[in-house]
């Protein structure tokens, strides 16, 4: 195993990000890049200030301590959520992985190089999520809270991430051994989804045990809060030492668990009749439904609906949102359709096919989800609102996929696009909330913004297609 080869791969991926993520789509322009950085910074500053205001307004040192302990106890649960999302994104990046085959690197070196990027995403997300809270908490409880947050949240986060990586790679090895390696795109997310249910139950019981122990002064033991206990009783140096030893041990196990050979993931499954391919809409529907990531979210939505029905959880059918995020891949996935058709397809027709295919999938999932919600006593107006949100989300995620095309299924374009669009949507939503406009005007504004999203998507497709046909030069 050579770390030099890993570094070469990391440099290769950085070059890919620079050229294919920041050098294509809307981010090609310097003005757009500057605007994107400004939007991200503005949103983060706003989020940070709001967190500080809320924490200082409503919390005292004791509540901050309880929140810190609860956050630490729940670490495995939310790290597993983040890991599952990142894993599905990287499983989709099969073509990107295949680009590295010409480089002199083994599969373990490749695994390590990709793991570095995955870890950067998870650590970045943790810093953004908890950073503002920790800074706010420091203004109440003093700077010692920063160290306590590192021991209670960041150390367990990193170790949980490595632990899940070992489990993932172990399962990958197992499925490759039994000859089902190509199906791991479906098998592994399901195992993680099942693990999430167990982890949710565990996190709930651990949080209750911790709260009861904290309030009554009784001793309690939660492994993920072990570093905090060690730091409190024996000093931070020992906690850091234990963390480093575990980090080294788990890091080595990750490398040992990585399979020696790479096996591509099966990207499409034969679902629905091929006869649908006789029309453009049918082709787009097949491209959407047959891809493995759509099947994953469809099954997640079905399981969630079944879980809601069995446990009788009275919530509107927001599980529909699951199936609306596929829009980020819709444009890139339908690229072969546009290239294979001899006649030039107009941008409006292309766009309508993209969103109609997604709307059909949404409606099919909506029927049982709304039926379950109605059976549980949720008003039809709440279900209609959830469907409306989901429809808007289809338009937004399709726009993300056009402005930030996920070439070779790379996850970096998706993450950059989703973060930027989420920042804009969050600011607009908060602005509308502050303006406290009548409901009818709010609905009108949302409809107008959706029209703008559709218009920009069509203009984007038109421009990209004209560039591909050499009608204009980028």
Partner 1 sequence: MKLLRNIGIAITVGFIVTAATATLSMIFTMFAEGSELGRRLTFFDGLFFEVRDGANGAIQMGFGVHDFTPIVLFFVISSVSVFAFLVALNFLRGYRAKLIDERAS
Residue ranges in contact with partner 1 by CB under 8 A = 42, 45-46, 49-50, 52-53, 56-57, 424, 427-428, 430-432, 434-436, 445, 449, 452, 455-456, 459
Q: Pick the closer one to partner 1 by CB: 120 or 455.
A: 455
> Closest distance between partner 1 and the C-beta of residue 40, in Å?
12
Cβ distance to partner 1 smaller for residue 238 or 455: 455
Q: State whether the Cα torsion 21-23-24-27 is positive or negative.
A: positive
Q: Cβ of residue 444: shortest distance to partner 1, in angstroms?
A: 12
- Alpha carbons 321 and 286: distance in angstroms, whole number: 20
Token pair of 185 as six digits: 């795109």
- Cβ of residue 406: shortest distance to partner 1, in angstroms? 24
What lies within 8 Å, CB to CB, of 353 at 6+ separation is 280, 281, 283, 284, 334
Helices (H) and strands (E) in the chain, counts: 19, 0
Minimum distance of partner 1 from residue 129's CB (angstroms): 18
CB of 271 to partner 1, least distance (A): 38
How far apart (Å, rounded) are the C-alpha atoms in residues 134 and 138? 6
- For residue 268, the SS3 value is strand
DSSP assignment of 353-419: HHHHHHHHHHHHHHHHHHHHHHHTT--HHHHHHHHHHHHHHHHHHHHHHHHS--GGG-HHHHHHHHH
Residue 151 phi, psi dihedral angles, 5° rounding: -70, -35
Between 235 and 346, CB nearer to partner 1? 346
> Residue 344 in contact with residue 471, Cβ under 8 Å?
no
Of residues 281 and 449, the one with the C-beta less far from partner 1 = 449
User: Nearer to partner 1 by C-beta: 274 or 431?
Assistant: 431
Kindly tell me which of 51 and 141 has the beta carbon lying closer to partner 1.
Answer: 51
* Size of the chain in residues: 474
Nearer to partner 1, 98 or 433 (CB): 433
Least Cβ distance, residue 58 to partner 1 (angstroms): 8
Q: Which two three-digit tokens encode residue 169?
A: 């790679």
**To the nearest whole angstrom, how small is the minimum distance from the Cβ of residue 53 to partner 1?**
5
Q: Which of 35, 253 has the CB closer to partner 1?
A: 35
Single out the residue of 279, 156, 320, 163 nearest to residue 229, CA to CA: 156
Q: What are residue 272's phi and psi, to 5 degrees?
A: 65, 160
Closest separation between CB of residue 431 and partner 1, Å?
Answer: 3
C-beta closer to partner 1: residue 79 or 420: 420
Q: Which residue, chain included where needed, has tokens 């027709």? A: 349
Alpha-carbon distances, residue 20 vs 25, 325, 413, 414 (angstroms):
9, 21, 8, 12
Q: How far is the CB of 321 from partner 1 (least distance, A)?
A: 22
Q: In sequence order, what DSSP letters do the residues of 76-101 get, joined into one string? A: HHHHHHHHHHHHHHHHTTHHHHHHGG
SS3 content of the chain, % helix, strand, coil (to 5): 85, 0, 15
- Quote the least distance from Cβ 50 to partner 1, whole Å: 5
Min CB(55)–partner 1 separation in Å = 11
Tell me 146's DSSP state.
Answer: H
Q: CB nearer to partner 1: give 233 or 436.
A: 436
3-class SS at 258?
coil
- Give 310 or 434: the residue with its C-beta nearer to partner 1: 434
């Amino acid at each position: 195993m050579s770390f030099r080869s890993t570094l070469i791969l990391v440099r290769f991926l950085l070059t890919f990000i620079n050229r294919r993520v920041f050098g294509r789509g809307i981010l090609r322009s310097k003005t757009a890049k500057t605007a994107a950085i400004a939007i991200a910074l503005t949103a983060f500053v706003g989020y940070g200030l709001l967190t500080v205001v809320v924490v200082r307004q409503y919390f005292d040192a004791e509540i901050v301590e309880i929140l810190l302990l609860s956050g630490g106890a729940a670490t495995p649960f939310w790290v597993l959520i983040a890991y599952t999302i990142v894993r599905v994104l990287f499983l989709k990046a099969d073509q990107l992985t295949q680009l590295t085959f010409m480089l002199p690197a083994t599969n373990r070196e490749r695994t390590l190089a990709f793991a570095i990027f995955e870890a950067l995403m998870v650590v970045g997300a943790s810093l953004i999520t908890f950073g503002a809270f920790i800074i706010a908490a420091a203004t109440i409880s003093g700077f010692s809270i920063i160290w306590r947050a590192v021991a209670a949240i960041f150390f367990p986060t990193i170790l949980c991430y490595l632990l899940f990586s070992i489990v993932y790679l172990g399962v990958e090895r197992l499925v490759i051994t039994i000859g089902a390696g190509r199906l791991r795109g479906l098998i592994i997310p399901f195992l993680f989804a099942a693990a999430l249910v167990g982890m949710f139950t565990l996190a709930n019981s651990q949080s209750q045990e911790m709260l009861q122990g904290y309030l009554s002064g009784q001793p309690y033991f939660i492994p993920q809060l072990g570093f905090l206990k060690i730091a409190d009783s024996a000093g931070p140096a020992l906690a850091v030492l234990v963390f480093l030893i575990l980090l080294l041990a788990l890091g080595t196990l990750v490398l040992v668990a990585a399979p020696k050979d790479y096996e591509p993931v099966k990207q499409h499954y034969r679902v629905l009749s091929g006869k649908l391919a006789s029309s453009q809409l049918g082709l787009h529907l097949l491209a959407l439904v047959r891809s493995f990531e759509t099947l994953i979210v469809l099954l997640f939505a079905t399981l969630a609906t079944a879980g809601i029905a069995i446990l009788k959880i009275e919530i509107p059918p927001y599980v529909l949102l699951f199936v609306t995020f596929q829009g980020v891949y819709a444009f890139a996935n339908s690229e072969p359709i546009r290239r294979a058709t001899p006649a030039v397809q107009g941008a409006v027709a292309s766009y309508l096919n993209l969103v109609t295919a997604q709307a059909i999938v949404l409606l099919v999932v909506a029927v049982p989800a709304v039926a379950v919600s109605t059976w549980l006593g949720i008003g039809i107006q709440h279900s209609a609102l959830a469907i409306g949100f989901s429809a808007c989300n289809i338009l937004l995620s399709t726009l993300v996929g056009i402005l930030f095309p996920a070439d070779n299924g790379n996850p970096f374009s998706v993450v950059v696009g989703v973060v930027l669009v989420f920042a804009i949507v969050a600011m607009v939503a908060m602005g509308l909330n502050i303006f406290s406009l009548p409901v009818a005007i709010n609905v009108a504004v949302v409809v107008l913004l959706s029209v703008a999203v559709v218009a920009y998507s069509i203009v984007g497709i038109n421009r990209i297609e004209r560039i591909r046909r050499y009608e204009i030069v980028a």
